[in-house]
């Protein structure tokens, strides 16, 4: 039946190069750079706005450009009233990632540049999306808890304002610094599943909101962004460092997938783990809850010994978010509040040099056979 030779096949597209990008480089040997800048240096010194500007524009902003960029984000944060009304109509138990996906989709209708895929229009939409994704998460969460959304505090950074809007408390300077670092770590990761989903959608010349809606749906899954929620459930179950090794051995014996471990690209460690681990240690020491890091370290040592697998960033992000006071359902949305910068940069890059992304499949169904026709099926 075959009319062509079989194309090469890599399950899960492992190792397949699906495009070129100048936004982000993931080095399998535990490295990560945005537009050529090492993530480790940026995480220490930059804030999220600088990283987002860099991802979108290709170069770091000067002081004036950074101030203007921050102001433009601040000016776009408020949600249109009908979107707030919609948030009030959603079931109170709806997962915040589903709320976010729904909200992004609805916001499309309020963007005057929706169907303009030019570079300049995409930059404007990126700023609106970066601003409003944070608001959707914070306002959606408060509304689901029967509370009113809070007004923005525009004297805070984007990360600081996000913390304030979620918790209702003005965060400490060190908390803002930590969240800025976390936002930088999560902002981009080349062709990860959600970014690839966004690029596939954008490659049909569909709009940025459609692409980000696809990305939100993709990030939710526990093999991707959803892992930071699942990791926290695991750590809550383990409870103490003494129980960690036994728990892991039992789970491995059952052939379970352990959340927060493994990575498609990194095989010698996730570049973001050392920074996130130190944030977790620092936070734990500050608030008298130092046990999370030893639990994770025991899990890491056991997994390394048993399967040679390394932890990924979500293992340590989970307890950090818990120490911030967030329930685990918010872990993946917080990831999205940062990754939105990467998604928008990739959609823009895709539109600027587009070719439809349309792979092939290998047909493994029945061989060609004669269609019986209606007369035979009604006999
Ligand atoms: N727990 C237990 N075993 C794992 C594992 C994990 N977290 N991750 C990978 N493995 C094992 C697989 O079972 C497989 O073993 P086998 O060869 O004996 O069958 C081997 O390692 C290769 O794994 P594979 O599933 O082919 O890797 P992948 O590249 O397809 O998947 C992930 C990568 C991230 C999806 C996978 O590691 C995973 O599911 N991790 C947990 C979810 C997670 O933390 N996601 C966040 C990623 S940042």
Out of 262, 296, 318, mutate this one to test ligand 1's pocket (max ligand atoms within 8 Å of CB): namely: 262
Q: Concatenated DSSP letters for 133-179? A: HHHHHHHHHHHHTT-PPPPP-TTS-HHHHHHHHHHSSPPPHHHHHHH
Name the catalytic one among 189, 224, 346, 351.
Answer: 224
Nearest CA to ligand 1 atom 26: 264
Ligand 1 atom nearest 14 alpha carbon: 29
Question: Which ranges of the chain have pLDDT less than 70?
Answer: 1-4, 376-379
Question: Cβ distance 157 to 163 under 8 Å?
Answer: no
Q: What is the pLDDT of residue 8?
A: 85
CA angle 246, 290, 254 (to 5 degrees): 20
Q: What is the Å distance from ligand 1's center to 264 Cα?
A: 8
Examine the residue annotation and report whether 95 is marked as an active-site residue of this protein: no
Q: Please report the atom of ligand 1 found closest to the CA of residue 312.
A: 48
CB 31 within 8 A of CB 23: no
Q: Is 282 a catalytic residue?
A: no
pLDDT of residue 30: 87
Q: What Cα–Cα distance (Å) separates residue 182 from each residue in 37, 45, 107, 175?
A: 16, 12, 26, 10
pTM for the model stands at 0.96
Residues 201/214, Cβ–Cβ less than 8 Å? yes
| Residues 263 and 166 sit within 8 Å (Cβ to Cβ) | no
262 CA to middle of ligand 1, Å?
5
How is residue 79 written in tokens? 């949600």
CA of 119 relative to ligand 1 center, distance in Å: 37
Whose CA is closest to atom 10 on ligand 1?
262
Task: Calculate what percentage of the chain has a pLDDT beyond 70.
Answer: 98
Q: Which atom of ligand 1 is nearest to the CA of 263?
A: 34
Q: What is the mean pLDDT of the chain?
A: 96
């Amino acid at each position: 039946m075959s009319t062509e030779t079989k194309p090469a096949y890599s399950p899960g597209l492992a190792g397949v190069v699906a495009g070129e990008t100048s936004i982000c480089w993931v080095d399998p040997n535990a490295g990560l750079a945005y537009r050529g800048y090492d993530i480790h240096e940026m995480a220490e010194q930059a804030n999220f706005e600088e990283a987002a500007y860099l991802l979108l524009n290709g170069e770091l902003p000067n002081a004036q450009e950074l101030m203007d960029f921050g102001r433009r984000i601040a000016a776009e944060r408020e949600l249109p009233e009908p979107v707030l009304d919609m948030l009030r109509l959603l079931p109170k138990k709806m997962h915040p990632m589903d709320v976010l996906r729904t909200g992004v989709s609805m916001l499309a209708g309020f963007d005057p540049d929706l169907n303009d895929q030019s570079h300049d229009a995409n930059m404007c939409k990126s700023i609106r999306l970066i601003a409003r994704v944070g608001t959707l998460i914070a306002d959606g969460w408060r509304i689901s808890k029967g509370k009113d959304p809070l007004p923005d505090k525009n004297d805070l950074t984007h990360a600081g304002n996000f913390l304030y809007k979620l918790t209702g408390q003005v965060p400490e300077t060190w908390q803002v610094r930590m969240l800025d670092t976390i936002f930088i770590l999560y902002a981009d990761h080349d062709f990860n599943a959600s970014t690839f989903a966004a690029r596939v959608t954008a490659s049909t010349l569909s709009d940025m909101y459609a692409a980000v809606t696809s990305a939100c749906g993709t990030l939710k899954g526990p093999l991707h962004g959803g892992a930071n929620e699942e990791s926290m459930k695991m750590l809550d179950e383990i409870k103490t460092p003494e129980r960690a090794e036994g728990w892991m051995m039992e789970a491995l014996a059952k052939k379970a997938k352990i959340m927060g471990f493994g990575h498609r690209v990194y095989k010698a460690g996730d570049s973001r783990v050392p920074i996130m681990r130190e944030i977790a240690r620092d936070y734990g020491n500050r608030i008298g809850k130092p046990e999370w890091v030893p639990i994770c370290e025991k899990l890491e040592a056991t997994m390394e010994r048993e399967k040679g697998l390394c932890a990924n960033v979500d293992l340590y992000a989970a307890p950090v978010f818990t120490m911030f006071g967030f329930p685990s359902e918010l872990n993946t949305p917080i990831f999205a509040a940062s990754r939105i910068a990467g998604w928008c940069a990739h959609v823009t890059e895709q539109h600027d040099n587009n070719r439809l992304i349309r792979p092939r499949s290998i047909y493994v169904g029945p061989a060609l056979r004669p269609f019986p026709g209606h007369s035979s099926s009604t006999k």
